[in-house]
Amino acid sequence: MYVNKLNQLFRPERVLYYREASEEDIALIGGGKKPGSAQACGGCFGAYDQTGIFFLKGYDKPVTGVEYRMDDKRIRYPETEHTVLGAAFFYSIEIDGEIEISREAITKFFTELGRDNEAVRLFTELSVSEESGIIGVFAGGMGRKLRILYEGRVDVDRSEGIIMDDMESLDRSLLYRMAFSDPITGHHNWNHLVPFLEMPMHKGIRDYAFAHFDIKAFRVINEFFGHNVANSVLCRVVKAMEEADFIYTSARCHNDNFAMLIKDMPQEEMLEKLKAFFDGLSRLDEDPDYRIYYRCGLVPMQRSMLLGNRVADAGKFAQAMGTKLGETEITVYTDEIHEDIMWSNYIKAYVDTAIAKDEFTVFLQPKIDAVSGKLVGSEALIRWRYKGEELLPPSRFIPFFEKDNTVGKIDDIVLKKVCEALAEWKKEGRALCPVSVNLSRKQLYDRTLTEDLLRIVDSYGTDHSLIDFELTESAGYEDAEHMIRVLNELRESGFEVSMDDFGTGYSSLSLLTEMPLDTLKIDKSFVDKIGIAGEEENDIIVLKHIITLAKELGIRCLAEGAESREQVDRLVELGCNIIQGYYYSRPIPIAEFEKKYL
């Protein structure tokens, strides 16, 4: 059974609206699904959580319920039984496996976990008693994952002595300032903010949202205008946080990063306040023509309460998703982002096991000469037979692996399986055509890339001309000179080189003339606009010129994503004969590809 400790949570005094749980409700929760009862409204404003199964003290049967904040006139509370729950701390854990949904089974499971699990023992200030608290069980967002809340009680209050306004009550005020104040702005630092997240009730905070933000291109201000101007920008941000009436407390975390606990309110209102806040800080006093932009991650109240002391990680993750230039971005941390984080952390830890169990498999999609109808090549596409059962498409794992060097392991697996298939086909006397495999951006910056690829290909005795390395244009490349040097090395070694998704990324025409390419793959977004009713003349002009440009540069042109006869005919008419798309075939397993095309 896979167990993941989440964190310590605090729930303020609140009201639980509930009704007796049906067997269907319990079965759905046990299967990792949300119950479809009339109370399934945990995502609405004012709710602390989604609908779950609760085991209450003094109540024999389990109930289906939703926790709401108390006495808020903006909330339409359900018309059902309810009870007030006092403020309490909880352990929150996630499990992926079989467990009986009953008070006794969960109490036993959690108590045993508390004794044996090192992660849970880190919460030394909490002790769990079988008699204390309530148990809540909630369906997770992926597969059979369940989340369990179990109430504990506080034995050691290590935060109470930190949340105070009177610094003179400490004997060593200088030490206090060094520990909890920022030396540049004189404002609070992150150490000051932590206990507010852990024990908000000591400042009368019942509900809060969390925001983490930074200043875009702050280095430019530092280097162009100087440190004094840059520091004055930081101080103006601090002043604005201190004066804002919707901010409980705030901190300068490090460099140009700040964090705020803000009053909860409907999301649209919260976004409007934050936008106005950043707009008021968008001008540089020393040069009013210079615009300052911000990047902010916002964690709404409900998710903040669920994340507890991990809320900062969520805010930073959402903040990092702001990548646009020349504008302020506020990214809201959603359930989908949360699930992506949980899933990403898990599969990155599991990937080596998946490789050892040979769970990754290769599918091939043919490339067809539309005039002759003959096979001229294929593209290798990875699939993951997750735990030997569910077949995951690349979108469920490649984007997460691209954030670190894990994607290189996946690319190597594809290359090895392609070379293995080519060696087998050669042995059987089948006709051989080039197979394209992906070359990730991170691999390009590996100093031994060419040697590593040659070692893999040569170990199978594969003719280099049968391997076509594809680069994705939309990824972008920081060091064009290095990229061109690597591509030249690959071509000199006898490999073919293609650019995938042409027209969607950042390549300039001048760069295209320098890149040593054999094939230019026109992105599906262009193909989708032709061979249909209402076809636009401008789309045809752009596509025709891409094809003409490729030919005049001596580069083979291939269109991907064709799904109809009309699109194929239009592409041939425009001068592009090599087609890849569902019209001819979806990506299929290697064995099926052999039977159909070789």
Contact 262, 196 (CB under 8 A): no
The backbone torsions φ and ψ at residue 304, rounded to the nearest 5 degrees and listed phi first, read -60, -45
Catalytic residue (choose from 560, 563, 566, 592): 560
Q: Look up residue 578 and give its two tokens.
A: 């090599």
| Nearest-5° Cα angle at 277, 272 to 281 | 140
How many Cβ atoms sit within 10 Å of the Cβ of residue 234?
20
453 vs 330, 422, 464, 529, 534, CA distance in Å? Answer: 42, 16, 10, 37, 46
The residues facing 588 across adjacent strands are 364
Query: How far is residue 64's CA from residue 54's CA, in Å, rounded to a whole number?
Result: 6
Long-range contacts of 409-414 (CB under 8 A, 24+ apart): 409/351, 409/355, 410/360, 410/382, 411/437, 411/438, 411/439, 411/440, 411/443, 412/452, 412/456, 413/355, 413/360, 413/362, 413/382, 414/360, 414/362, 414/380, 414/382, 414/438
How many Cβ atoms sit within 10 Å of the Cβ of residue 347?
18
- State whether the Cα torsion 147-353-357-598 is positive or negative: positive
Contacts of 475 (CB under 8 A, 6+ apart): 440, 441, 505
- Is 538 strand, coil or helix? helix
Q: Does residue 223 carry a catalytic annotation? A: no
Query: How far is residue 469's CA from residue 491's CA, in Å, rounded to a whole number?
Result: 10
- Is 468 strand, coil or helix? strand
Which residues carry out catalysis? 560
